[in-house]
Amino acid sequence: MLVMWCTRTALGRLQRIAPCTVTGFNRAMSTLPKVYVTRKVPQDGLDILRKSGQVQFEMWDSDDPVPRVELLKKVKGCEGILCVLTEKIDTQLLNAAGPNLKVVSTMSVGFDHLSLDELKKRGIRVGYTPDVLTDSVAELTVALLLATSRRLIEATHEAKTGGWGTWRTLWLCDHELANSTVGILGLGRIGVAIAERLKPFKVKKFIYTDVAPRPELANMIEAEYVSLDELAKQSDFLAICCALTPETYGICDWNLFSKMKKNAIFINTSRGGVVNQEDLYEALSTGLIAGAGLDVTNPEPLPTHHPLFTLKNCVILPHIASASYTTRNSMSALAANNLLAGLRGEPMPKELKL
């Protein structure tokens, strides 16, 4: 754990200049809003907090999650919390923080870890980090789609373990993007960015479904709005890009998979909770669909003994869609700026309207 209130060097200089100034300095620091940062976040965000001179902040200095007991203790009396998606900001935590809490800034585009109704009831503002991760997530989604549909992980294993013998006519054959129909469940910034990257592969048609038609976004990629049933029936590749809400929880279940083509590839880079993983296993293991690529699971991490790991036609990544240096630093910076703006009572760069 690391307390980032001031540097020893700065304090030492103050002591050498005038001992009485140190007392005033400490008094001034103690009046600044208290903030808790729940994880070791990328440097750009830390620099913004440190150089702002507007907060005193304490950080859990680890790549691993802060223990819940420690978190509940550290948020007491805080006016701001900068968190990541592994921390549940629920009634218990908000009660522990107390009435001074004004702002929660999450370094994520998803917000299913936040109790939004409770935050709204208490008048606590929420910042999040959309847009800055769009490119990174779209790139990873395309990479995962190709790795799954072209059986790259399976092929690499065969090459490493002696399965690569004489050339065979149909060995490791797979499914092309050319002349295919790509479906998108949840058409937002990321869905559009995925489609834009897939266009050069000569995709024949883009279709999508959402809570309602989104013509402005759809026109950017010439996508057709269809029902969820039609999305399942028509898609050769189905990319899941929706937020996790009570309405979307488990939406990708046997009912969806049973309507999909036998050669269909299912890709999820949104949230693990939108997929019924038991139904997905049955669909993959019985050949109901051709393959699946998952960057997100439920729970995370997925236990290594989970049946999905036994399938050759299922590629599972450890939630790395936004894992580029540029994106993670941008997320950290945006989360810090959201926090500071919220504490000043100003509009946040990206505020979640409750």
The residue extents of the domains of the chain are 34-132+326-352, 152-161+172-312
Phi, psi dihedrals of residue 225, rounded to the nearest 5°: -80, 130
Domains 34-132+326-352 and 152-161+172-312 share a fold: yes
Least reliable range by pLDDT among 21-25, 54-58, 136-140, 241-245: 21-25
CA distance 11 to 39: 25
Residue reference for tokens 């790139």: 139
Res. 11 pLDDT band, cuts 50 70 90: very low
310 pLDDT higher than 90: yes
Average pLDDT over residues 29-44: 92
Residue reference for tokens 């100003």: 346
CATH of 34-132+326-352, one of 3.50.50.100, 3.90.79.10, 3.40.50.720, 3.30.70.920: 3.40.50.720
- Look at residue 19 in the predicted model and tell me its pLDDT: 40
Structural Rg of the chain based on CA atoms: 24
Average pLDDT over residues 1-25: 40
Q: Is 313 exposed, middle or buried (CB count within 10 Å of its CB: 0-12, 13-18, 19+)?
A: middle
Residue reference for tokens 């870890």: 113
Active site residues: 319
Residue pair 293/7 in contact by the 8 Å Cβ criterion: no
- pLDDT by residue (tens digit) across 89-113? 999 999 999 999 999 999 999 999 9
- pLDDT by residue (tens digit) across 217-238? 999 999 999 999 999 999 999 9
Residue pair 66/38 in contact by the 8 Å Cβ criterion: yes
- Look at residue 127 in the predicted model and tell me its pLDDT: 98
CA distance 119 to 116: 5
7 pLDDT higher than 80: no
Separation of CA 203 from chain center: 27
121 pLDDT higher than 90: yes
CA distance 127 to 341: 9
Specify the CATH class of 152-161+172-312 in words: alpha beta
- Look at residue 232 in the predicted model and tell me its pLDDT: 98
31 pLDDT higher than 90: no
DSSP letters for 262-294: TT-EEEE-S-GGGB-HHHHHHHHHTTSSSEEEE
List C-alpha distances in Å: 326 to 49, 136, 319. Answer: 18, 9, 17
**Which residues make Cβ contacts (< 8 Å) with residue 14, sequence separation at least 6?**
21, 22, 25
- Look at residue 30 in the predicted model and tell me its pLDDT: 66
Give the DSSP H or E segment for 63: none
